[in-house]
Homo-oligomer: A and B are copies of this chain.
């Protein structure tokens, strides 16, 4: 019984990490199995000892987005404390930040591959949904809670965050992208009833 289970798990995790990075950046078809393995300091052949196919890996990467999404604990440098009073505005600001706009290796998966998921099968969409719902839940908990339609508001804010970042990343003019992020941020804060500063 050579090689510990731990070693096996770690190698697999390393492959998933590389795949996540590269899929985010170049999409499913834009990356080869060989590139992923090379990024993980391995060679092609070994791949099939861990995954049945490239598609299986893709599915697993999507799954890992919510097993280890970064939501728990810190996200983009924001310590996500669900009990904090200002968790809502904090998340909105972090999500629509210049940092997230420039993050190329590990942005929020909802931003990195929405059109790919929309074209994929049920399981990919389910994975996307889990992340989306989790986001909405956090936003809802962080809302002022005055209105009984807190959930609708949280849904809209999530859409605004995703849409703002998606569009900003697909736009060529950097100044316009920044303007969009700022506008989306203040609109989201307004919707959430969090307009502490600014009009």
Q: Is A68 an interface residue (CB 8 A)?
A: no
> CB-defined interface of A181-199 with B at 8 Å, one 1/0 digit per residue?
0111011101100000001
The segment from A10-18, A36-44, A80-88, A116-124 that touches chain B is A116-124
**A125 and B187: CB pair below 8 A?**
no
Name the B residues within 8 Å of A28 (CB-CB): 29
Q: A163-B160, A166-B163 are in contact. Are A187 and B119 (CB under 8 A)?
A: no
Quick one: which of A108-136 are within 8 Å of B by CB?
110, 112-119, 122, 125-126, 128-129, 132-133
> CB-defined interface of A156-181 with B at 8 Å, one 1/0 digit per residue?
11111111101101111100100110
18 contacts between A and B (CB under 8 A): A113-B115, A114-B115, A115-B115, A118-B169, A125-B170, A128-B170, A128-B171, A128-B172, A129-B173, A129-B176, A152-B179, A155-B179, A156-B160, A156-B186, A156-B188, A159-B187, A160-B163, A163-B163
